[in-house]
Chains A and B, each alone.
Chain A
Amino acid sequence: MMDKITAFIRKHQTVVLLAVPLVLAGVLISMFGSRLLLDIYTYFCVSLGMVYGLQVFMGNSGILSWTHVGFVGIGAYVTGILVTPPMVKEMGVPNMYPALVDLSLPVVPSILIGALVAAAIAALIGYPLMRLNDFASVITLFATLIVIHVVMTQWDNVTNGPRTFFGLPQWTTWGIALGGALLMLLAAYWFRESGLGLKLRATRDDRYAAAAIGIDMIFTRYLGFVLSALMAGFVGGLWALYITSFSPKSFYMAEMFLLLSMLVIGGSGSVSGATVGAVVVTIAREVLRQVEATINNAHVLSFEVFGLTELVMAVLMVMVLIWRPSGVVGGQELRLPRFGKKKDVPAEVDGLAA
């Protein structure tokens, strides 16, 4: 029995290796860290959840999934509409459909419904999109994000249009954010290691060979896409309950660039890569923001410096890609170095970095 448990843990040690530092960091920061540090940590955990969701589809299928942040937005809006008290909605969203104004649900079901709605929309539009490859797939997913964005900004009976949607309770604490991130970690890891994930990775590495051994590429991709949207919608709900007020701008290019840079810098091929990327990007971004704020507050320059953070992030990203095109971690999962007997299968080599 004991043997079985240790063997199980050894087989899935990646999860432990990723989760333990994450939890430790959270506990330490909540005990000794400042308020600001705890805020950064909470936001980091939520972003991490989004990156895991992105990894599920993009990492395993090799398709650049622009729509991801759109599904985060759908989850956020659905949660917002369900959770916010009718009084507040009447005031904040004057044009909202009366049926939506009267809706009011507890927090947890709201988040779950948000996730389901995001998944349902993905399921509705996803199948045809999964048939496309290369240029066409990048562009259509990009166009889909724009369609989602246009609908969000124009449908003011639901989303309050381009204006801010406000009045959500701040329900997501650091512990809940951490819990959400861990749940997403498990989901992403489980998917990657599952038969379905393996099939999807096969279609990524060689779609003809995958088809030749009987993998239904489109359907496999489709399932990955819907799961990814489900995760995005779920984290979107957590995000909305942390930020409490937001507008469609929050679910567009700038945010997508951030998520993409996290995944690509870390290495899209693995859950470990997603984690490392999120850590690196969050730290780099916060440091740069501090520098930018310091420069602006010190008034050493005659003008305010806007956009320095994004500028340096972009340069860093290109440098990382030149240095390690498949990300810092590459395609493998983190594992402890093995000593002595070697009976396990060798770690997977990333197929993308030929």
Chain B
Amino acid sequence: MIDLEFVINTLSLGSLYALLALGLVLVYGILKLVNFAYGEYIMIAGYAIYLSATLLHAPWYLTLLIAVLAAVLVSYLTELIAFRPVRSQSPNALIVTSFAVSVFLQNVVLIMVSPRARPVQLPFFFSRTIEIAGATVPLRNLLVIAVTAVLLVALSLLMKKTVVGMAMRAAADKFTTTRLMGVPANLVISTAFVISGLLAGVASIFWVSRSASVDPLTGAAPLLIAFIAVVTGGMHSTVGAVVGGFVYGLVFNLLSVTLPASMISYRDAFMFALVVVFLLFRPAGIIKRGYTEERVG
């Protein structure tokens, strides 16, 4: 049961989930915003692939680029228009705003495109499979592992070596103090949203490639996964998000192979129940970080 195929599938699923969780936790760390609109960035990126392929007849590399850019743009715009004016207010107002943004984006797509699912054209090599040491693996599973590795390295370089990265890390720790050091709040928050959108866009390419279609509710499932991965991993650090993503992928695959067929439809309920039980014993998640400040606008 646990063979090379299982390991590679788990790694690729974990990579995808880590990307999803990372995009969510970057914004949470700084703004203390549980961003319910995050799933819609993924959905929008999926539609960007569909639209650029059907309307513009763009080649595959261009459709992927447009998808990522669309997610970045939407992420940035939602910050600018919706979150910025509300952000100094109560945390619940901020969460409800993000939920409203999510409903808004879903219905925009519903009205402008269609309530029905649309096929997404993905690069030809995505559906290829290759054999490694006797295990048959889809190429995109290997791709997602490679892309995630590259993104993680790039992101950690950005966070450690650049000024804006250091400002973001400082802001995630103590936002008020960071602002007193002369770091502009808007810049830090906007950057966080841009990176969050970028990760959502990249994750979206791999997410929609699984069903090869996109509909207005596509964002719900990845959003949930990101949520759960973040809480399990630890919501106060980016490392926690990545760890949470991989753990989630592992548990998910383990449940898939061990649960009897009659119980498989309860798999999600099992996952969430496990998470709730886990949080009882360790409310801070797997990776604990010391002191974190309450939310500051």
Contacts and interface: CB of A to CB of B under 8 A. Distances in A.
Contacts of A326: 89-90, 93
Nearest to A63: B92
Contacts of B86: 318, 321-322, 325
A314 B101 CA distance: 7
B254 interface: no
Contacts of B235: 135-136
A244 interface: no
Contact of B92 (A143, A264, A308, A318): A264
A122 B95 CA distance: 23
Given A135-B34, A310-B103, A64 B89 contact: no
Contacts of B228: 139, 143
Contacts, number: 135
A332 interface: no
Nearest to A155: B266
Nearest to B267: A150
Contacts of B273: 147
A321 B93 contact: yes
Contacts of B6: none
Given A257-B99, A325-B89, A151 B269 contact: yes
A189 B25 CA distance: 38
A142 B220 CA distance: 12
Interface residues of B, number: 45
Given A128-B276, A326-B90, A307 B110 contact: yes
Interface in B80-99: 82, 85-86, 89-93, 95-97, 99
A142 B89 CA distance: 22
A131 interface: yes
A48 B230 CA distance: 35
A69 B104 CA distance: 21
Contacts of A132: 279, 283
Contact of A128 (B82, B95, B99, B280): B280
Contact of A307 (B32, B91, B107, B295): B107
A64 B95 CA distance: 9
Q: Size band of the A side of the interface?
A: 35 or more
B92 A268 contact: yes
B184 interface: no
B107 A311 contact: yes
B49 to A, nearest CB: 22
B258 interface: no
B91 A142 contact: no
Given A143-B228, A322-B86, A325-B90, A154 B266 contact: yes
Interface in A315-342: 315, 317-318, 321-322, 325-326
B3 to A, nearest CB: 30
A318 B100 contact: yes
Interface string A110-140: 0000000000000000001101101110111
B211 interface: no
Given A136-B235, A306-B115, A318-B82, A261 B108 contact: no
A135 B28 contact: yes
A129 B276 contact: yes
A65 to B, nearest CB: 10
Contacts of A151: 266, 269
Given A264-B92, A264-B93, A313-B103, A307 B111 contact: yes
A143 B111 contact: no
A165 B273 CA distance: 26
Contacts of A306: 110-111, 115
B276 A131 contact: no
A150 B268 contact: yes
Interface string B103-128: 11011101100010000000000000
Interface in A37-93: 58, 62, 64
A135 B97 contact: no
Interface of A: 58, 62, 64, 128-129, 131-132, 134-136, 138-140, 142-144, 146-147, 150-151, 154, 253, 257, 260-261, 264, 268, 305-308, 310-311, 313-315, 317-318, 321-322, 325-326, 352-354
Given A143-B276, A257-B103, A325-B86, 5 more contacts: A136-B235, A136-B279, A136-B283, A307-B107, A314-B107
12 contacts: A135-B230, A136-B283, A136-B285, A151-B266, A154-B266, A268-B92, A306-B110, A308-B111, A311-B103, A311-B104, A314-B101, A352-B92
